[in-house]
Amino acid sequence: MFTFESQGRCLTVAEARDWQQAMARQIVCCDDVGDVYTVAGVDVGFEEKGSVTRAAVAVLDFPTMRLVDFAIAQLPTCMPYIPGLLSFREAPAVLTALQQLTVQPDLLLCDGQGRAHPRRFGVACHVGLLSGIPAIGVAKQRLCGEHDALPVEKDSLVALMDGQETIGSVLRSRTGVKPLYVSIGHRISLTSAVHFVQDSLAGYKLPEPIRWADGLASSRGKIVEKASRILERSI
DNA sequence: GCGACAG
DNA sequence: ATCTTGTCGC
């Protein structure tokens, strides 16, 4: 029986799944967003052969998509990747990074599923509920659900279904590239979620906030330096 | 039993 | 996710 540390307590995989099912009932799936002046991208990377979890949050002005703040948190990795339990592995570092921010984001775009999850509680729901901030899940790959064929043109959109239930939207953010799997995280409707994702695109497959978070989470190159220079310039 | 399986 | 250079195409 595999167990892991979460919120100062040891959980078994079965207990973690039960917790997700219970927490999913607290997710607000209608719009409770207010005016959005800042949107943050959230992503996680791993260092030291996976022993260190590195979360990055990049806050951008909306809708100009200018970087206005960012934070990086490195914590020891608490558990391996288990499909469906990704958030237990990533949320601690993400929540830590969120607390380090100077500029509080009005909306979160999380790299991963939100409601499009077997128990309707992907990482975007987990982070959104525990932080209290409206959140959207933006995944590059499907975890569950089925959908009709999607036209190759940009802005094509089809529903992601699990039986008769709509759990998300499949959006072609760029012509000819693999689509994005958009689903609600917390305090937002699916329709608004898709609109915010589209309004955060800047010609690339991924929304700008997530592109920034991706770079900052993977610690590659001189992205942190570049981000730092942009921030001091805007002071 | 077999196939699927976010990051 | 991560290990990694060049390369084909819009």
Residue A233 confidence (pLDDT): 87
Which residues have Cβ atoms closer than 7 angstroms to strand C? A 44-46, 50, 81, 111, 140, 176, 217-218
pLDDT digits (tens, 9 = 90+) for A87-132: 999 999 999 999 999 999 999 999 999 999 999 999 999 999 999 9
Cβ of A195 near strand B (distance < 7 A): no
- Angular region, A58: left φ>0, alpha ψ -120 to 50, beta rest: beta
The CATH number assigned to the domain with range A3-233 reads 3.30.2170.10
Residue A8 confidence (pLDDT): 86
Residue A235 confidence (pLDDT): 67
Residue A40 confidence (pLDDT): 99
Look at residue A104 and give its three-state secondary structure.
Answer: coil
Nucleotides of C under 7 A from a protein CB: 1-2, 10
Q: Which of A118, A129, A136 is nearest to A185 (CA)?
A: A136
Which residue's alpha carbon is at the shortest distance from the C1' of C3? A49
Question: In sequence order, what are the beta bridge partners of A52?
Answer: A47, A76
The set of long-range contacts for A96-101, using a CB threshold of 8 Å and a minimum separation of 24, is A96/A55, A97/A42, A97/A55, A97/A56, A97/A57, A97/A71, A97/A72, A97/A73, A98/A57, A98/A71, A98/A127, A98/A131, A98/A133, A100/A71, A100/A72, A100/A73, A101/A40, A101/A57, A101/A59, A101/A69, A101/A70, A101/A71
Cα R_g (chain A), whole angstroms: 17
Blockwise average pLDDT, block size 10, chain A, 235 residues = 88 96 98 98 97 98 98 97 98 98 98 98 98 98 97 97 98 96 98 98 98 93 93 83
Q: Shortest CA–C1' contact from A139: which nucleotide? A: B6
Q: Shortest CA–C1' contact from A176: which nucleotide? A: C10
Domain boundaries, chain A: 3-233
